[in-house]
Structure 1
């Protein structure tokens, strides 16, 4: 009776090592894909200062949203439109709206534009936005007083409301 017992050979070690690193690499690739496909992060000049201002900014935004003023955006044929309205749907009276367009990651394409007033509570900018994700920070003022300050995230692909 003969038994063939070679034990743990070099081939076994090679297969074990390849399997181990194959699992590690596939997990890393999967996690990197999920990270890039979900939250993209934000670029700030100083993360420490931004973290210190977070609660203060959150309280100011909560107070502003309690007024009932809200805005909506649309993009059609390179015309960006911002409609600002009160809780009851009537247009909000503002003099000036500044829009700061930012990419979620990186700042090489960021720009600011003052929107042109085309009606009560209705503002536009005729500007081409390159395809992809954007965050627009909209600052609305009446007589120099801040009426609304909001940031909206949107994707230009398929955005035509």
Structure 2
């Protein structure tokens, strides 16, 4: 076999090494930049602005919750065909009449679609027409009875 028939062997030079190192670190940096972009453009994860200040009202919130539980009222929240309906009943099954009722609609993953809506009385319940996008929603209902007793309720629903 002559030298002409043998395949020419390629050398691995310094230029090749610079290209390999550049591609390696370029890939790492690109992935990190993409992940940083999505991390800063999506939900912050912030639940309260100052956890210490929020913790100072814990005992009051706990006492209010116990008072609410002692009322024996039963909440019922439904969402059908673009209508949010909230019914609150006493221990005899009679509807509680409220002077004021509102619902705070929140996405568990971000704040962009959060809304505060007023629930209007309708046939022993309180309702509002509001089209929710598909996915998970946390609904916080606040109601003050005609006797001045506050009642809060939270429920997570999944809209198809």
- Determine if the TM-score, normalized by the shorter chain, exceeds 0.5: yes
Residues 1:106 and 2:97 aligned together: no
Query: What's the counterpart of residue 148 of structure 2?
Result: 145
Task: Give TM-score scaled by structure 2 length.
Answer: 0.65
Unaligned runs of 5+ in 1: 1-40
The 2-side partners of 1:155 and 1:42 are apart by 22
The 2-side partners of 1:144 and 1:85 are apart by 14
Task: Give TM-score scaled by structure 1 length.
Answer: 0.64
Residues 1:78 and 2:82 aligned together: yes
CA contact (8 A) 1:96 1:117 kept: no
- Cα deviation code 1:41-92 (max 9, x no counterpart): 7722322222232332122112111101121111111111101111121111
Shift of 1:116: 1.3
CA contact (8 A) 1:137 1:151 kept: yes
| Pairing 1:109-148 to 2, within 5 Å after superposition | 109-120=113-124, 122-143=125-146, 145-148=148-151
Could you say what secondary structure the match of 1:112 adopts? strand
Unaligned runs of 5+ in 2: 1-44
The 1-side partners of 2:70 and 2:86 are apart by 20
Q: 1:139 to 1:54 in 2, by over 3 A?
A: same
